[in-house]
Amino acid sequence: MAIETELKLRIAPEHLARLRVHSFWHAHAASAPRTRQLFNQYFDTPDLALHHAAMALRLRRNGEQWLQTLKGGGAIEAGLHQRNEWEVAVAGAALDFSTHAEVDWDSLLPQTLREKLQPVFVTDFMRSSFMLGFAGAQIEVCMDEGWIHTEARRHAICEVELELKSGSTQALFELALALLDIVPLSIEVVNKAEYGFRLLDENFVESACVCARPKWDVQQDLAAQLQNLMWACLLHLQKNLRGIHGSASPAFRAQVELALRRLKLLLRVIIKLSDNSVWCELKTQLVHLSGDALDELALQRVMLKIAHILSATPSLSLIKNQKLPRALRAYFV
């Protein structure tokens, strides 16, 4: 089993075309670009048991090779996707669970479940990829453009994936900030498989997302608790930003404003306890971004800067330590 760590960025086709040929890559690329067509068939049971268990099973055709991949578990923090991944080569365009030496399929996918598996949707896209040496890390840059298909519907793919091969996750956010200086882009919190499952539901309508109730660990110190709240705020904000323009519902803007208020409150607390002046700068930028005329690109930049700091170890250097105030905890419940 491997753990896949990647940052997904949504981008418009015209901006992806500009990014492909930008001179920025010349100074950092550690390998020549490779372009190939990737065809992926996803499988699930009729009642979508894998999807409900936060898992995805696919067959991928990569040139003459077929790969069978199961992904599951993990988490998303500020667009950073971390998932467990089991992958084996198979002989052709059919699932094969006989390779027990590499993957214990019986424990991951019981026989009773495997008997119910059927094709559910396809992703078919062109990928240009290359290795990059950046900020002390090795990162695979993938530029994907194509489609997700069901029998009746489809969804366009146009994104950049930054997958960490070695080094710190900080480098992913630092690279994303550098790319944002070149073209407009935004953090993507929905993966291709999830878009596919949404297509299967003809009645699916994206709704505003409320912030998940934080999990309090009394054993954690104040810095760790504040860090968890910051990650939760960023995810809450990112899940609702796109809905401001993609939906007529005012609920998206209400959730964005709530997330911004919570983020500014957290920054005020951190500023009182930390000697890092960058938090003051970020809070000032957030204050200027609030209101009806929301500059989403500037907000993407602030979110990436916060995520860049949070992904450091340790991320919060506090002048003094104490318990998280009850009033602050209550505000996030």
Are 68 and 138 in a shared domain? yes
* Residue 63 tokens, joined: 């040139």
Q: What is the pLDDT of residues 269-328, one digit of tens each?
A: 888 887 778 888 888 888 887 666 678 889 999 999 999 988 886 666 665 556 666 656
Better pLDDT: 298 or 331: 298
Report yes or no on 113 lying in a domain. yes
| Residue 127 banded pLDDT, cuts 50, 70, 90 | very high
Amino acid 284: pLDDT: 87
The answer to whether 270 and 316 have CB atoms below 8 angstroms apart is yes
* Tokens of residue 128, six digits: 């240009």
Identify the top-confidence range among 3-12, 102-111, 269-278: 3-12
Overall average pLDDT of the 132-136 stretch: 93
The reply to whether 191 and 240 lie within a common domain is no
Residue 173 lies in a domain: yes
Are residues 161 and 264 part of one domain?
no
**Predicted confidence (pLDDT) per residue in 149-160, tens digit:** 999 899 999 999
- What domain count does the chain have? 2
Do residues 236 and 175 share a domain? no
Shared domain for 234 and 115, answered yes or no, is no
Q: Are residues 158 and 189 in the same domain?
A: yes
Half-sphere exposure in the Cβ direction for 246 (13 Å, CA): 10
Instruction: Looking at the structure, tell me whether residues 122 and 183 fall in a common domain.
Output: yes
What's the 3-state SS for 95-119?
CCCCCCCCCCHHHHCCHHHHCCCEE
211 located within any domain: no
Q: Tell me which of 200, 231, 261 is where a domain ends.
A: 200
Of 273 and 208, the structure prediction assigns the larger pLDDT to 208
**Do 189 and 241 belong to one domain?**
no
Could you tell me the residue range of the domain that residue 62 belongs to? 2-200
Residue 29 lies in a domain: yes
Q: What is the mean pLDDT of the chain?
A: 88
Domain endpoint, select from 200, 233, 252? 200
Helix and strand counts by DSSP (H, E) for the chain: 12, 9
Task: Confirm whether 167 is domain-assigned.
Answer: yes
Which CATH number belongs to the domain containing residue 156 in this structure?
2.40.320.10
For residue 75, what pLDDT is reported? 76
Q: Which residue has the higher pLDDT, 213 or 88?
A: 88
In a domain, 9, yes or no: yes
